Structure 1
Amino acid sequence: MSFDSFATRAQLALNGKSYTYFSLPELGKRFDLSKLPYSMKILLENLLRHEDGGMTVAKEHIEAVARWDAKQEPETEIAFMPARVVLQDFTGVPCVVDLAAMRDAVTRLGGSPKQINPLIPSELVIDHSVQVDVFGRADALDLNGKIEFERNMERYAFLRWGQKAFGNFKVVPPNTGIVHQVNLENLARVVVERDVDGVLQAFPDTVFGTDSHTTMINGIGVLGWGVGGIEAEAAMLGQPSSMLIPQVVGFKLTGRMPEGATATDLVLTVTQMLRALGVVGKFVEFYGDGLQHLPLADRATIANMAPEYGATCGIFPIDAEAITYLRLSGRSEEQIALVEAYAKAQGLWHDANSPHATYSAMLELDLGDVKPSLAGPKRPQDRVLLEAVRDNFHQNLEGLIANRKPRHETIGRLVGEGGDQPQAEHLAAKPKSKIRIHDMDCDLTDGSVVIAAITSCTNTSNPAVMLGAGLLARNAVKLGLKAKPWVKTSLGPGSLVVTDYLKKAGVLHDLEKLGFYVVGYGCTTCIGNSGPLPDEVSKGIAENELVVASVLSGNRNFEGRVHPEVKMNYLASPPLVVAYALAGTVDIDLSQDPVGHTPEGKDVFLRDIWPTNKEIGDVISATVGPELFAQNYADVFKGDSRWNQIVSPEGESFRWDAASTYIKNPPYFDGITMQVGTIDDVHGARVMGIFGDSITTDHISPAGNIKKESPAGRFLMERGVQPVDFNSYGSRRGNDDVMVRGTFANIRIRNLMLGGEEGGNTIYHGAHGATEKLSIYDAAMRYKADGVPLVVFAGKEYGTGSSRDWAAKGTNLLGVKAVVAESFERIHRSNLVGMGVLPLAFSDGQNAQKLGLDGSETIAITGLQDGASKTATVTARKHDGREVRFEVKVLLLTPKETEYFRHGGILHYVLRQLAARKPA
């Protein structure tokens, strides 16, 4: 039965059709919506359209959003149902694996496989599997693609099965583009038209994505954010997401960008400002006169990095610039007309006369104040002005070289005593590794840039920075400059459209002359798919334990993410990536030092080769047009010959191969019945790990290299898989046996139980006080065999990073019952709940160290009251019988989350709900 308590149902006549919509202006006759932020209006429309009398959306929920108080702390729960879901293959493969497993499980519970089927459009873009194995040559794209298909044939065959087996599910094949870029350039509807129970409806395009950077789509007015694969699967199966009505932070932009500054510089500035304010769990909304000078691509760049500044989303309204972009990107005139007419009819259109909304907090930035910047060396919010990069490098070098082998004690002492030695003496003391590469003798030192990568959706979707990089390359080539021979250069354009406009502008050839050949259409270096360094470079790094660097136009630079041999990683705009490839080191001040020299030995400075804003704008106008988008997205789901030659299984249920090391039926639903459980206290638990601040999902569940000596490496070799064929953790997310062994196995993670040494190890506490240092996986399996539950203690911002559902799945499969942290990243907390792992927060100011915990204790968590209590008591019992007791907050934030937890997780809840219905 359809509800419309406030009589908001209205008609919009357009394109020869009559659309039904739920009118916000009609609701505005009852409530004052004039100061409601744009994003809150989208939430309000979603509630109006899904009102069902209280099963999920009641009249009271609509009133709560309509009467939204900007200053009120979130306390009211609402249900949000996205219009569609978008996935990438690292997170998408396990999603489809889970759906296939649910088909088996629902059959065992008496249902039909067809009951497990996406109910809303779900589109998966294969973009995370290509690696930079081959670079710096014309055939790099073809060879990397060939290797990609050889490595991932089993996964791709599985996805082709899913594409045929599931309705409402489409796959964008490899070598098309990065998921967020494809979403922006093609998949996004902005306004949806859909037949709902025989009625043609128009409503805002909203989206859940299984990648945290789904927020790129906020740049064009589409409300969406990253969720874990678990939550995405539930949405695909028609389950709304429970959320607290958020606070909304307003970010006012004024002025216009100065000469020499890029969108990357702008987004790094915005990220730093919002991190300082604190916007975790909040919406951010951009407004102000500066929007009129901000191209859509720049807005998308800012929106993309919402995870880096910590917000749920960072949204821009629909306005004339959005319409211009829709036309530029080849959308139909009928769709464009619908977007504009609907936005204006709903009061969602923004122009100079639009009233300013009321916000929970506000920031302001004059675009004219933006300066060339990088971020690093290990967090995206740590912005560094270009002129300060060398100093930043030296400051961070101190800690990293302190543990060098004894033969380097001199330099460790020299730098570690505060850097008070003369610069010349410091440089003379720097260790050097002499290598021969490309028939040249070279010196590798601390700070050598060994990876320079134009990569990641954040920047590759932006013509200004991509063409800026091309023009800078052209100017450098004219002066005879070359990239340093030890730099691994790569260009991942993000979409076929980008390659076409780089070619059309005539600058792709110049980029290639500097080594920036197209290596693939995927995320590549930004997610750790940087591929191996040349042997000579690897040996040189190892010889003197050098602290080398990467410079990438990505959005993530967490420890151990980009490459295991590279300890410093800086985010930069594509033009600066090219500049650092020319310089070959971050131990330089590019604002005043030469970036290189002409063949005649003349100094060349960055200002000599940097293109002007007008030059970049003129090239954009001459090269980027709708025909490029139209031709490249004409058959976006078709794929190339490699894709279409893949042989895939048939049938409603997947035929699992017990020998597969890529695709496996997961154990989550083993033994499931229709009986719902309870949330019980925990007793006799052991501590698996004590971690500090900023433990990322990369630390918890790495996506990159699998070390042969790791538990996952040993598992694969026992099954006949040689190290050369290990692929990556990300590519093996469809196999829980591999992934549980990779959980907490990051080479850079530091367990404070072991004094903070790097590597995924712990202290196992056995019977009679016996202790043993083991890998976390091996220890967890011993505890599991003994029936001992586990807990994890951590610091602030636990789980920051990509929406990596395996960070929660692996934690669950290791036997962890609860994670106690000072604070959690939004998506990871939600994922833990979705997998039945209890997130608990220390009281303000407390942590494991201040409480004197060392990991030897046995732990009890009491007072949970079947999820009814908002607090619990943790009792840590030491060897001598002494007890440390402290209160923690129970982070089951909504009644729905508590219900999910009683079921053992969100998928178990959905499965029981579907199984209870009679098969169609």
Structure 2
Amino acid sequence: MSFASSLRVGDVAYTYYPVSAIEGADRLPFSLTVLLENALRCGRTEEESAAMAARITEAGLAGEVGDEVEFSPARVLFQDFTGVPVFVDFAVMREACAELGGDPKKINPQVPCDLVIDHSVIADEAGCDGCMDENMKLEFARNAERYDFLKWAQESFENVRIVPPGQGICHQLNIEKFASVVMESPSGLTGADGTPVVYFDTLVGTDSHTPTANGIGVLGWGVGGIEAEAAALGQPITTLVPRVIGVKLTGELAAGVSAMDVSLSFASMLRERGVVGCFVECFGSGVSGLSATQRACISNMTPEYGSTCTLFPVDEKTLDYLRLTGRSEDQVALVEAYAKAQGYWNDPNAEPRVYSDVIELDLGSVQSSIAGPSRPHDRIALAQAGERFRAICAERGLDNVTAHVEIDGADYELTHGAIAIAAVTSCTTATDQAMMIATGLMARNAAERGLAPAPWVKTILAPGSRATELLLERAGLTESLRQLGFYTCGFGCMSCIGNSGPLSEAMHAIADDIELASVLSGNRNFEGRISPDVSQNYLMQPANVIAYAIAGTMDINLTSDALGTDAEGNPVYFADIVPDEAEVAALVNRYVTADLYEQGAAGMFEGDAAWQALGAEPSDTFAWDETSTYVRRPPYFDGMGRAVEGQAPIEGARVLGNFGDFITTDHISPAGAIAPDMPAAEYLEAHGVAPADFNTYGSRRGNHEVMMRGTFANVKLANKLADGRKGGWTCDFTTGEIAPLYYAAEHYRAAGAPAAVLAGKMYGSGSSRDWAAKGPMLLGVRVAIAESFERIHRSNLIGMGILPLQFAEGQNADELGLDGSEVITVAPIDFSAGLPNPAVVQVTAERADGSAVTFDATVRIDTPTEGRYYENGGILQYVLRDLIE
């Protein structure tokens, strides 16, 4: 049978794949409707499509986790930190293709890819005129090599758009400009009757907050670089059919309650309920009362409670937003017709779908709140914030100490909770026009009453798009924000990812004496993340960031204590400067127009003079600069032939790490500052880089030499082979000494020995990180033996040619008497039929005294596709051979 059918919108005919062809589809959650359509359209054969559709429907109607299915996203979204290594891989694939006699121009993303350079800007300068220009200059000076490479990628690859620095963040630009909700096949790709194929707009992104687009009905989630590469190269991503949790929304938001407050309520409510790995979607009468951007703010918070997505179906509010942000009337008509044809249209009166669990939230019960001091789901009602802050200090055993700072010649006595950073930042809230207007009005009202931020507060304003800044300008609110020190200092992810820049020397000097605080309108507030000098971080709606900046401390009850005094010495309270809801609505109605978004997006892909001056010219292959310390040619294809030769036997492997339970990808993958006196620092210094210019691992992800040296180097990592020493250390069995893990790996490589890893439960848990698999592979790791694996990390290991083996139930390294000093050999495995044969393989661990432990382990290569990847040496090798042939 053929699942394709015809859909007519106005005078235009399309081919589409109606989910109604599958019995029971009308009762599936909206998110599984999208997976079902994807399976019907993208299966390699109709039989395969039917089998995947049955798995989705069976699991969905039972409300249970189902078997694996393949998901082929329609497009991929990158930010620059994670995008650079992906395009480095594509560049080296082109070079390998040419060396193997193929046409390098065949190596291109097979689906549309957008990369937004938004993670590199740092608020070095803030709170003053010209700070954005200065930060942009510093950004280009630090990242010229990376940007030159990205400019080449933009010019040389098909299906690639790159947004230069200074335009906005990937999540906001995604919903303002990239997302179409319903996509149409490229020219030349048509259905059997010659009409274009239409389908759900879906994506994966290399940022965990990709679900922002769920707010306008686009199913997508964050993945690591390896999954993103696979998707970009046209390979499906395997995923279990998830449990879907329904959130039934009723009622309406009370006056003064923002989308950020709802987001924090979601984080608290769903983290407590436990939705890790689930899909979440919203339904009910309350959905209709939320604007598209309010929904996007809620969806942005998805990773903070551990679910994969937080999806809203399409309705009139979605269509209004699409019109507002420049989509054509033909596109809007297509979205409406397609959503209704696929049962994807929000009908508050329809019978509820089948959910694994349903959680109800009366929007009228949501209170104005903040979250902190170190987790997004630690929600605190605004009225109790001061009391809760004092309780936090007591819980932490903080004495009532003070510290003196001199700012502009004046002396101030500060204590715990002094606010060092107040950031109206780009994630979560800047997508919502009403919240940004309210922020400007709060600043205007405060300035009119003679209030200003405390002198010790660093003020940051980082809009999520040019349209957001333009909105504040048109509404006449920019000058008021500047009066309070909130000058736009950059367009990019800043405080949320720790790019808040340095504090003043005076504040830095007291950071160890008292616990400084930050307030931000972002989504992440983990301890140490916003600034290494700041111990407590609080999330809130951006207007309240203004209020706390004025207060200068967390030790205040905003709802009852005075913020300061006016020119006559009268106390001014929070209630005196809170924006009027009617004025916010009036300004939104007047200034949030299609012209605003059109002008805001003008020249988005052109960049400024510095970007345009980059000299990269398009070419089939990239001219690697051997002196570069940012972009290096990785060795993934060295020695590779056109024919599949299979993986070499794993014999005589030395153990690099013997780890316990719940080793996360953050433990494995390089991140943060590059520590001195470690292999990565020694490499950079040997290449003429001064310690002040080390930058971060994130900025150097395009240099495998740096990244492999930083793998397994997290300061909290406990390796049983390191004799109690935390961090990137192990026993080097060629010398018998405790040494940096990288140097032990190099000694084993020189001796011709592969490397192995032993681990406990849920090895590779946490966020997907491509370098958590790439790094071990480059260190020579051929096999990881664990009690259990996090699913995506297991897939990533296979994607880099590393064999995942699982101990038998009830067994682990300790129970078998293994301490990591053994030499590991794995019996041969046949992958000629795709799946491993045998599925349970014998492993021998030989001790130094000649005795041996032999045990059985399950080969965790679970699908034929994974088997093909592994046999080829990894996913990149598989795709390269496939494209050459």
Structure 2 equivalent of residue 762 of structure 1: 729
1:131 to partner: Cα distance: 1.1
Structure 2 equivalent of residue 517 of structure 1: 487
Distance 1:163 1:449, change over 3 A: same
Mapping 1:517-536, distance limit 5 Å: 517-536=487-506
1:387 to partner: Cα distance: 4.9
Distance 1:530 1:824, change over 3 A: farther
Structure 2 equivalent of residue 668 of structure 1: 636
1:166 aligns with 2:157: yes
Matched to 1:899, the amino acid is R
Matched to 1:647, the amino acid is G
8 Å Cα contact 1:77-1:244 kept in structure 2: yes
1:496 to partner: Cα distance: 0.3
Mapping 1:844-883, distance limit 5 Å: 858=822, 867=836
8 Å Cα contact 2:644-2:871 kept in structure 1: no
Q: Percent identity?
A: 45
8 Å Cα contact 1:225-1:312 kept in structure 2: yes
Count of residue pairs the alignment pairs up: 873
Q: Deviations over 1:713-751 (max 9, x none)?
A: 332222112233333322211111122233344456666
Mapping 1:642-721, distance limit 5 Å: 642-673=610-641, 674-678=643-647, 685-686=654-655, 688=657, 690=659, 695=664, 697=666, 699-721=667-689
8 Å Cα contact 2:653-2:825 kept in structure 1: no
Distance 1:280 1:845, change over 3 A: farther
Q: Distance in 2 between matches of 1:350 and 1:711?
A: 55
Which of 384-393 and 490-499 deviates more?
384-393
1:299 to partner: Cα distance: 0.9
Q: Distance in 1 between matches of 2:374 and 2:693?
A: 29
1:619 aligns with 2:611: no
- Which residue among 28, 37, 61 is the counterpart of 1:45? 37
DSSP 3-state at the match of 2:85: helix
Structure 1 equivalent of residue 766 of structure 2: 800
1:145 aligns with 2:145: no
Structure 2 equivalent of residue 357 of structure 1: 353
Q: Deviations over 1:647-690 (max 9, x none)?
A: 11442001111111111111222222333435967865435364
DSSP 3-state at the match of 1:433: strand
Structure 1 equivalent of residue 869 of structure 2: 900
Matched to 1:202, the amino acid is V
DSSP 3-state at the match of 1:197: coil
Matched to 1:277, the amino acid is R
Structure 2 equivalent of residue 834 of structure 1: 799
Structure 1 unpaired stretches of 5+: 401-414, 417-425
1:640 aligns with 2:608: yes
Q: Distance in 2 between matches of 1:813 and 1:894?
A: 25
Q: Distance in 2 between matches of 1:32 and 1:818?
A: 43
Q: Distance in 2 between matches of 1:122 and 1:795?
A: 35
1:562 aligns with 2:558: no
Q: Deviations over 1:145-175 (max 9, x none)?
A: 1111222222112112111211111111111
Distance 1:684 1:363, change over 3 A: same
Structure 2 equivalent of residue 113 of structure 1: 104
1:340 aligns with 2:340: no
CA RMSD, Structure 1 to Structure 2 (Å)? 3.5
Distance 1:653 1:439, change over 3 A: same
Matched to 1:712, the amino acid is A
Mapping 1:82-481, distance limit 5 Å: 82-194=73-185, 195-198=187-190, 199=194, 200-387=196-383, 389=385, 415=397, 426-427=399-400, 430=401, 432-481=402-451
Matched to 2:76, the amino acid is V
- Which residue among 744, 751, 757 is the counterpart of 1:791? 757
Which of 379-388 and 34-43 deviates more?
379-388
Structure 2 unpaired stretches of 5+: 831-835
Distance 1:494 1:883, change over 3 A: farther
1:77 aligns with 2:68: yes
8 Å Cα contact 1:760-1:776 kept in structure 2: no
- Which residue among 543, 553, 572 is the counterpart of 1:585? 553
- Which residue among 20, 26, 38 is the counterpart of 1:34? 26
1:913 to partner: Cα distance: 1.8
Matched to 1:161, the amino acid is W
DSSP 3-state at the match of 1:460: coil
Structure 2 equivalent of residue 8 of structure 1: 4
TM score, norm. by length of structure 2: 0.90
Q: Distance in 1 between matches of 2:15 and 2:649?
A: 47
Q: Deviations over 1:372-398 (max 9, x none)?
A: 333333333333444555566566667
8 Å Cα contact 2:2-2:46 kept in structure 1: no
Distance 1:186 1:682, change over 3 A: farther
Q: Distance in 2 between matches of 1:236 and 1:512?
A: 42
DSSP 3-state at the match of 2:210: helix
Structure 1 equivalent of residue 779 of structure 2: 814
Structure 2 equivalent of residue 403 of structure 1: none
1:60 to partner: Cα distance: 2.3
DSSP 3-state at the match of 2:636: helix
1:829 to partner: Cα distance: 4.6
Structure 2 equivalent of residue 412 of structure 1: none
Matched to 2:325, the amino acid is S
Structure 1 equivalent of residue 833 of structure 2: none
8 Å Cα contact 1:526-1:555 kept in structure 2: yes
TM score, norm. by length of structure 1: 0.87
1:600 to partner: Cα distance: 5.7
Which of 380-389 and 492-501 deviates more?
380-389
8 Å Cα contact 1:231-1:906 kept in structure 2: no
1:92 to partner: Cα distance: 1.2
Matched to 1:571, the amino acid is L
Q: Deviations over 1:837-863 (max 9, x none)?
A: 455778999999x97999766485968
Structure 2 equivalent of residue 549 of structure 1: 517
Q: Distance in 2 between matches of 1:88 and 1:589?
A: 38
8 Å Cα contact 1:549-1:569 kept in structure 2: yes
1:232 to partner: Cα distance: 1.8
Q: Distance in 2 between matches of 1:792 and 1:450?
A: 43
Matched to 1:87, the amino acid is F
Which of 494-503 and 855-864 deviates more?
855-864
Distance 1:578 1:841, change over 3 A: farther
Distance 1:825 1:620, change over 3 A: farther
- Which residue among 478, 482, 485 is the counterpart of 1:508? 478
8 Å Cα contact 1:863-1:869 kept in structure 2: no
Q: Distance in 2 between matches of 1:670 and 1:587?
A: 59
Q: Distance in 2 between matches of 1:752 and 1:609?
A: 57
Structure 2 equivalent of residue 724 of structure 1: 692
DSSP 3-state at the match of 2:318: helix
DSSP 3-state at the match of 2:26: coil
Which of 829-838 and 481-490 deviates more?
829-838
Matched to 1:237, the amino acid is L
8 Å Cα contact 2:206-2:223 kept in structure 1: yes
DSSP 3-state at the match of 1:668: coil
Distance 1:639 1:818, change over 3 A: same
Q: Distance in 2 between matches of 1:261 and 1:841?
A: 49
